[in-house]
Structure formats: C-alpha cells, structure tokens
Amino acid sequence: MCQHQPPCPSSDAPGHAAARVVAAHPEQGWSLLCNGVVLFEDTGELLPDGRAVQPHRPPARAARSTMPTAVAA
C-alpha cells in the first residue's frame, strides 16, 4: 500500500507508470513501482494481475531529455 504524498496512481490507472520506484534493478533492466507494476527499461510493463504491456516507446535514446538552455546575449 502506498505511503507517498501525493499517492501513487494505482496499477490500473492510466498513469500507473508514474508511480514511485521502490526497487530499481538497472543491471537487470527493470524497476518495481510502488503500485506493484514492474517497469522494464524498454518501457514494457508487467502488471500485478499478470498482464503484460508491450513497450510503447522506442528503446534507449528516448531517455535523454532535451532541456533548452536559455542563453542571454
């Protein structure tokens, strides 16, 4: 059960992948989220009820965020 504030989305909520990571295993390529979802580094998911979600983003390269740098002339 979730002790976070604000509470993590439940595993059946649309934004369930936004839950906090409670156990990260980057060497194995997966993380366990607070709501019981296992999130794989290719964005695939394994839900606590046994359903699998196929990767919905291209692997790698999507992780890099392009933050615009404000340059004052």
List contacts with Zn ion (CB under 5 A).
Answer: 2, 4, 8, 20, 34
Between 1 and 72, whose beta carbon lies closer to Zn ion?
1
Q: How far is the CB of 6 from Zn ion (least distance, A)?
A: 9
**In this structure, which amino acid lies at residue 36?**
G
Q: How far is the CB of 2 from Zn ion (least distance, A)?
A: 3
**Peptide bond just before 6 cis, omega within 30 deg:** yes
Cα–chain center distance at 33 = 7
Between 21 and 52, whose beta carbon lies closer to Zn ion?
21
- Quote the CA–CA distance of 7 and 3 in Å, as a whole number: 7
